[in-house]
Homo-oligomer: A and B are copies of this chain.
Amino acid sequence: MGKIDIQQLDDVANRLRIDSIKMTCAAKSGHPTSSCSAAEIVATLFFNEMKFDKAFPKNPSSDRFVLSKGHACPILYAAWHQAGHISTTDMMNLRKITCDLEGHPTPRLDFIDVATGSLGQGLSCAAGMAYAGKYIDKASYRVYCLLGDGECAEGSVWEAAAFASYYKLDNLVAIVDMNRLGQTQQTMLGHDADTMAKRFESFGCYTVVVDGSNVVELLNAYNIARQTKGKPTAIVAKTLKGKGIVGIEDENNWHGKPVPENTVEAIEQHLMNKADIAGTFQIKLPVNDVPNVQLPIGHIKMAPPTYTLGDKVATRQAYGAALAKLGDACSRIIGLDGDTKNSTFSEMLLKKHPEQFVECFIAEQNLVGVAVGLQCRDRAIPFTSTFAAFFTRAADQLRMAAVSFANIKCAGSHVGVSIGEDGPSQMGLEDIALFRAIPGSIVFYPTDAVAAERATELAANTRGIAYIRTGRPACPVIYSNDEKFEIGKGKIVHDANKPKALIIGAGVTLYEAKKAADKLQSENVEVIVMDLFTIKPLDKDLIVKSARRAENRVITVEDHYQAGGIGEVVCQAVSDQKDIRVHSLFILDVPHSGPPDALLEKYGISAKCIVDAVHQFIHPPN
């Protein structure tokens, strides 16, 4: 590395600074100071270290860059501008509704793999990409993740570091831009780079502390990282927030604020005080050693289910069986679990295809983050599983997965009070709401084993975020193996000539509804029972048509809280209809431990409760 190259990199870092300052001024909002601290880091990565294809940013063989501190995106946009991929006009439209250079990065941009902006999530995604590179693609691409120091307070960073070192991801480099200042005050560690380094070291990373504004030290650190085998590298780069902006550098109260517009010229002159010899850059091209993969989404054929009607099988078990069979059909189906694989039955994939399974241990945030990383650039179709309740631990990661337009599948087992004795901490009672709130998601709630296998197959074959809600208890198979299931289509499982009400359930409550229907029939009260199969999209047509036939009375019953559950979505679906009335049964209070049947009764969703509700609906008390 000659003196000229170093000067070039210094110069380009300052150009990135100036562009960051100018574009945030134009937008009248944004984060120039968090960008400026990272200028040398980004300049050295993009214009010396990383191998990538600026003409085809999603080239699967390219090195990956994840900006975990997403608010510093001006510096990233500036880098792609320097690379020639973004025009000056576009850059100056930062944060406008017509421009995809948004306030925080999203994959609406072709050079962004994962959305960031909720802090502490990038390293998990980067670890997922590195896992794909090392173990699935077995290719040479490397993954660079730039973190802020403030976000290292997020536990998810340490989940990711532990995962990365456990799986020896030596193709992963985390760089902490340690600029000392958070949004409102100094971070917990300030400029104590040694302690930060000790943390990463104790979590299994090789660590290097550098002056983050010194391009030679940075290049040297990347070089060390490339030579480090068997563990990821963490580079702790000491920097200054607002570096290079006189009067703002290293000062508090400059987070997320453009500089005063009338100071821009002076800042530019100060930064470009020396001859700008940067010129244009030879960006290193990737080695095209990634296997050619086309995910057969839409065409993944699973061997059909082979159950016997009436046999008792838990839907979680059927999920595991389907996942293993999908693994036969497609080697890029990857199972991930949070040390619950014998409960969720994802271990059935592990047993059949160990190379298609990633144990993520008890760290659900990282579980989802790694899955998001794996699916980038279509390297895999990840199926994550844990108890439904514990997906709430990753609610923010799931929210961001939606902003990333990710293709991940989640299977949550042990839903509702029907899990019984383990008690409320283990009961998934808000998972339907959680997954329904994801734009474009599909929410499956299969009732029996056949439906659960088909839900898993449909999830694999449909891009986007899909959730499969599975149950703990073994329940009778009610569908024949050749029953056809479609997304957004429910089933009438109990019909009648002169029905007085439509009962809608799914999972355990469908069985209760069927029992209730039998009981009511013995009392000469006829009802229709409908199995939803998917809660999102909802089979509105069948609901409305069936309700009309059933004297406009609908009863919903679910092993879930009210908010965002089946009752509410059905109410909304019929809200444009006159006459149809809905009565909803759901879990109202924090449940207690106890036998499943007793809990269904106590919390008002048993067959008996349904029978009572139907009677009350038909003959309301005065």
Contacts and interface: CB of A to CB of B under 8 A. Distances in A.
Contacts of A584: 572, 575
Copies of this chain:
2
Contacts of A297: none
Given A97-B592, A576-B581, A579-B578, A563 B185 contact: no
Contacts of A405: 590
Nearest to A346: B184
A480 to B, nearest CB: 33
A567 B578 contact: no
Interface stretch (A100-108, A169-177, A268-276, A280-288): A100-108
Contact of A182 (B339, B421, B433, B602): B339
Given A102-B423, A439-B561, A153 B362 contact: yes
A579 B579 contact: yes
Interface residues of A, number: 112
A334 to B, nearest CB: 17
Interface string A537-554: 000000000000000000
Interface string A158-179: 1100100010000000000000
Interface stretch (A237-245, A321-329, A391-399): A391-399
Contacts of A214: none
A176 to B, nearest CB: 13
Contacts of A204: 195
A157 interface: yes
Interface in A358-393: 359, 361-366, 389-390, 392-393
B153 A425 contact: no
A115 B592 CA distance: 12
A2 B151 CA distance: 49
A434 B395 contact: yes
Interface string A313-357: 000000000000000000000000101111100010000000000
A230 interface: no
Given A97-B598, A339-B182, A393 B362 contact: no
A340 B183 CA distance: 7
A396 B155 CA distance: 14
Interface in A426-467: 426, 429-430, 433-434, 436-437, 439-440
Contacts of A70: 425
Interface stretch (A3-11, A42-50, A81-89, A116-124): A116-124
Contacts of A583: 575-576
Contacts of A430: 399, 434, 437
A156 interface: yes
A155 B366 contact: yes
Interface in A107-145: 108, 115-120
A199 B188 contact: no
Interface in A445-493: none
A343 B30 CA distance: 14
Nearest to A99: B593
A187 interface: yes
Given A29-B421, A155-B154, A430-B399, A577 B581 contact: yes
Contact of A403 (B188, B203, B590): B590
A199 B200 CA distance: 9
Given A118-B389, A578-B578, A97 B593 contact: yes
A241 to B, nearest CB: 14
Interface string A396-408: 1001101101000
A95 B155 contact: no
Ranked 7 nearest A-B pairs via Cβ = A155-B155, A117-B425, A97-B594, A564-B564, A395-B395, A436-B563, A102-B593
22 contacts: A30-B421, A97-B594, A118-B389, A155-B157, A187-B361, A199-B202, A202-B202, A390-B396, A403-B424, A403-B425, A433-B434, A436-B562, A437-B562, A439-B561, A439-B588, A563-B564, A563-B569, A564-B565, A564-B568, A568-B572, A571-B572, A571-B575
Given A392-B396, A572-B584, A576-B581, 11 more contacts: A70-B425, A97-B592, A97-B602, A104-B423, A104-B593, A118-B390, A153-B162, A195-B202, A198-B202, A571-B572, A578-B578
